[in-house]
Amino acid sequence: MTRLLSVNMEATVAVILFGVGFTMLLLHRNLIKKIMGMNIMDTAVYLFLAAKGYIDGRTAPIVVDGIQETSAYINPVPSGLVLTGIVVSVSTTALMLALTKRLYEQYGSLDLDEILILAKEEEEKRT
Amino acid sequence: MSRPSDHYETSRWFKFTQWVNGETDPLSSGMEARPAWRKPDWAGEAAENEEKKDVKAGSRILETRGIRWFQRVYRIMSVVLCLSIILALLWTVSALPPFGHAENPANNEVSARYIERGLQETGAVNIVTGMILDYRAFDTFGESCVLFIASCCVLVLLRLDSENGGDRKRKELEENDRVFEPKNDVILQKCACVLVPLIFIFGIYIILNGHLSPGGGFSGGAVLGSGLILYLNAFGFKRTERFFTEKVYRRVTLCALTFYCLAKSYSFFTGANHLESGIPLGTPGAIISSGLILPLNICVGLVVACTMYAFYTLFRKGGM
């Protein structure tokens, strides 16, 4: 197992990073820290994808001197996928931060449990 | 080493078991063990004071006890869940093909085709740009739309209207702005005078050379957006509003997205029906070459730069 993991060190690190992000998402009560955990998970996915595209001893997929053999360049497809991932994560992060800001304006707290309790109290008052 | 430890409370094993049992939160309160009977942090001091005043304290204590139990179970379950996810993923990783081998299943005929025919078919020296802005152009169009929609959502959430007391709030925010942000800071302004043109030139270079070198619309647009944000920080909203208002943002983004959609639809339509599209590919390596990729890169760059700037202004003062 250890030998198998060490051959795939990048993927292993990506998986552990993913786990760290997921743990942050679950265990932190602060919404900003939850968003940070989400971003760490995103980063793990980029690392995994970028590592999948790499091939030993080849260069970046930019044609130099007209060489167009497959054996000269790494796989360009994962690079494009990472680009998509980065754009989507920027958008979702901005959206989550905006929602957090609205929640803070409403309840004066970033703590999810506190917000839930305050929201429940508000609902009880209303009924 | 068989002597029983006098400092069991401070030993690592105790802390570890405490942490596993969810009685302490090493992430938020250092490695201090929290006595089991104490209220969890969320109740805080504010709630404590409130509780003293509150007549309905009894029901509240019951409620907090329930929540405390729930939290303990929740913590244990989440740690178990995370560990099991990591272990399952690690197990999967150990079955993956080795890193960096040319025979891996990911390196199939698709990427071979992009590399071997990309230069002839798209005219782009940078194969990745050729791929994302020619073969998979609608994917990139979707990404630009995602950015645009995200900025629209943030606008909906954070915009301060003149109705509903938005004016008062805006004034309040502006006063806060004046307290927390330096106005007419000389050092910042002098640095910005030097840096902003350089950042703009660098961003434009990245966008225009997207098909020749690493870079493209997304990275160049982000650089341009950060230059705009620096300019705004140095000189304030009055100066940026001369050339960048909400109307400008709307028009630029809409024009860029519409042009992208129409241009790429045209080229896909002609390509699929084996018609002559009339878009010259030019000589590979020249700055004006590779057909539609350069204009599309400019469109994407404009959208990204506007979106970055819009995010910043919306978060800072709730409007553009």
The candidate with the shortest Cα–Cα distance to B114, out of A86, A62, A82, A45, is A62
B102 — contact with chain A (CB < 8 Å)? Answer: yes
Residue B296, both tokens:
């599309």
CB B51 within 8 A of CB A117: no
Residues of A within 8 A of B78 (CB-CB) are 23, 26-27
Question: Containing H/E element for B286?
Answer: none
Mean pLDDT within A45-72: 85
The pLDDT, as a whole number, for residue B182 is 65
Say whether A101 and B100 touch across the interface (CB within 8 A): no
Q: Which residue on chain B is closest to A112 by alpha carbon? A: B42
* Euclidean distance between CA atoms B199 and B224, whole angstroms: 7
Over 80: is that where the pLDDT of B173 sits? no
Range A113-118 contact pairs with CB under 8 angstroms and sequence separation of 24 or more: A113/A29, A113/B42, A113/B67, A113/B71, A114/B42, A114/B44, A117/B42
* Euclidean distance between CA atoms A48 and A8, whole angstroms: 10
Tell me the pLDDT tens digit for each residue of B119-130: 888 888 888 888
Over 70: is that where the pLDDT of A103 sits? yes
For all residues of chain B together, what is the average pLDDT? 79
CB B254 within 8 A of CB B296: no
* Euclidean distance between CA atoms A121 and A40, whole angstroms: 34
Tell me the pLDDT tens digit for each residue of B266-290: 888 888 888 877 777 777 777 887 7
The residue ranking higher by pLDDT, B68 or A89, is A89
The pLDDT, as a whole number, for residue B130 is 87
Q: The tokens 């006890």 sit on which residue?
A: B65
The candidate with the shortest Cα–Cα distance to B99, out of A127, A101, A21, A4, is A4
Say whether A92 and B149 touch across the interface (CB within 8 A): no
For all residues of chain A together, what is the average pLDDT? 88
pTM, entire model: 0.78
User: 3-state class of A107 per DSSP?
Assistant: helix
Tell me the pLDDT tens digit for each residue of B225-246: 999 999 988 888 888 888 888 8
B206 — contact with chain A (CB < 8 Å)? Answer: no
What are the residue boundaries of the structural domains of chain B, listed by start? 8-93, 126-273+283-317
Instruction: Give the pLDDT band of residue B4 (cuts 50, 70, 90).
Output: low
Residues of A within 8 A of B100 (CB-CB) are 54-56
Measure the CA dihedral B58/B62/B65/B71, to 10°: -120
Mean pLDDT within B36-55: 49
User: 3-state class of A127 per DSSP?
Assistant: coil
* Euclidean distance between CA atoms A97 and A94, whole angstroms: 5
What are the residue boundaries of the structural domains of chain A, listed by start? 2-126
User: 3-state class of B112 per DSSP?
Assistant: helix
Over 60: is that where the pLDDT of B32 sits? no
Q: Which residue on chain B is closest to A49 by alpha carbon? A: B106
Instruction: Give the pLDDT band of residue B58 (cuts 50, 70, 90).
Output: low
The residue ranking higher by pLDDT, B258 or B112, is B258
Tell me the pLDDT tens digit for each residue of B179-193: 666 677 888 889 999
Mean pLDDT within B138-145: 89
What is the identity of the amino acid at B91?
Answer: W
Mean pLDDT within B249-261: 92
Instruction: Give the pLDDT band of residue B30 (cuts 50, 70, 90).
Output: very low
Q: What is the CATH number of domain A2-126?
A: 1.10.287.3510
Over 90: is that where the pLDDT of B44 sits? no
B25 — contact with chain A (CB < 8 Å)? Answer: yes
The candidate with the shortest Cα–Cα distance to B45, out of A65, A114, A121, is A114
Q: Which residue on chain A is closest to B97 by alpha carbon? A: A8
Instruction: Give the pLDDT band of residue B134 (cuts 50, 70, 90).
Output: confident
What is the identity of the amino acid at B137?
Answer: A
Of the listed ranges B23-32, B80-89, B133-142, B238-247, the least confidently predicted one is: B23-32
Q: What ipTM describes this predicted complex? A: 0.87
Q: The tokens 């929290």 sit on which residue?
A: B34
Mutation target among A15, A25, A30 for the B interface, most CBs of B within 10 A: A15
* Euclidean distance between CA atoms B47 and B58, whole angstroms: 14
Compute φ and ψ for A62, nearest 5 degrees. Answer: -125, 120
Q: Which residue on chain A is closest to B25 by alpha carbon? A: A27
